Homo-oligomer: A and B are copies of this chain.
Amino acid sequence: MAVALALSERGRGRTGANPNVGCVIVKKGIIVGRGWTQPGGRPHAEEMALAEAGASANGADIYVTMEPCAHESTRGPTCSNAIIDAKPKRVIVATLDADERTRRRGIDRLGDAGITVSVGIREPEARRAMAGFLSRVENARPFVTLKLAMSLDGCIAMADGTSQWITGDRARAHAHLERARSDAILVGAGTAKADKPGLDVRIDGLTDHSPQPVILGNDPEIPDHWLQIAEPAEIAGLADINWLLVEGGATTAASFLQAGLIDRLMLYRAPIIIGGGLPGIGDIGLQKLGDAHGQWRRTDRRELGQDVLEIYEHAA
């Protein structure tokens, strides 16, 4: 299942309305098929892995990060049917489909066909790996990450707005990789006007993974292909966006935080002191200091050159 989870990451930020699923088929201890949801959402991970395995899928174990689909689609085969046709011995599922319309139908169909089905293996990791799709189904909005590149004293720029560069090469490359893993990237109108950010992925080989740019607020000068929303809650209307990356500035970050629409913080911190610079997060309407506690828990930390990346997830 660890391999299937790793494969699921390959599709992240590129699967449209579909979950970024990973799938591995194992026969007699050997991996005979691997798959992940392809760009745009098709083929599904299972379809890709079954194609690779061919006849070897007969009697094999299939590990898949989410319950195989059970509904008909004009876009491709139904995975639970395709699996039944391949005659595996077992199907091991990390988490059920979150969509109540199809939930349990996939595994029930496999079970009815005499295949042994296990559910719940590495479920927390699977929910994290496919959090974008799950958020859209469960919360009717994308999974939202707020990214900040800060100094030790919490500034994202000097008082005059200069912010190039706070973090080093490795941290900036990592941030660009996160862009490639996002369906859309959002900045406020002020940041768009001041920085004119490209919001593209500047990593060789990944430049075609650039996410959909979205702006919060009004700017008549934004390019045609950018989307525009008036307030954070409107992210619910962004079609086919599982993973949304909010990149600033302070007012935008604050408005999303105040609306309770940030699921994850990616805080890149450089070993510098700016002193009297621009803060990363504006007024979020905090009434009592005690209310700020218990909201966030640190789930990852890594050193990127001289900089440190800390990831926090909403505790709720």
**A interface with B by C-beta (< 8 Å):** 148, 150-155, 158-159, 162-166, 254, 257-258, 265, 267, 270-277, 279-286, 289, 292-293, 295-298, 306, 308, 310, 312
Contacts and interface: CB of A to CB of B under 8 A. Distances in A.
A166 B312 CA distance: 17
B272 A292 contact: yes
10 contacts: A153-B154, A154-B280, A164-B289, A258-B275, A272-B295, A274-B284, A274-B286, A275-B284, A276-B281, A279-B279
Interface centre among A164, A284, A285, by most chain B C-beta atoms within 10 angstroms, is A284
Contacts of A154: 150-155, 279-280
B275 A254 contact: yes
A70 B231 CA distance: 74
Nearest to A285: B275
A289 B166 contact: yes
Nearest 6 Cβ contacts at the A-B interface: A154-B154, A275-B284, A276-B283, A272-B292, A153-B281, A271-B296
A273 B283 CA distance: 10
Nearest to A251: B276
B271 A312 contact: yes
A254 B276 CA distance: 9
A280 to B, nearest CB: 5
Nearest to A270: B293
Given A153-B279, A165-B289, 6 more contacts: A151-B292, A274-B289, A275-B284, A276-B283, A276-B284, A279-B279
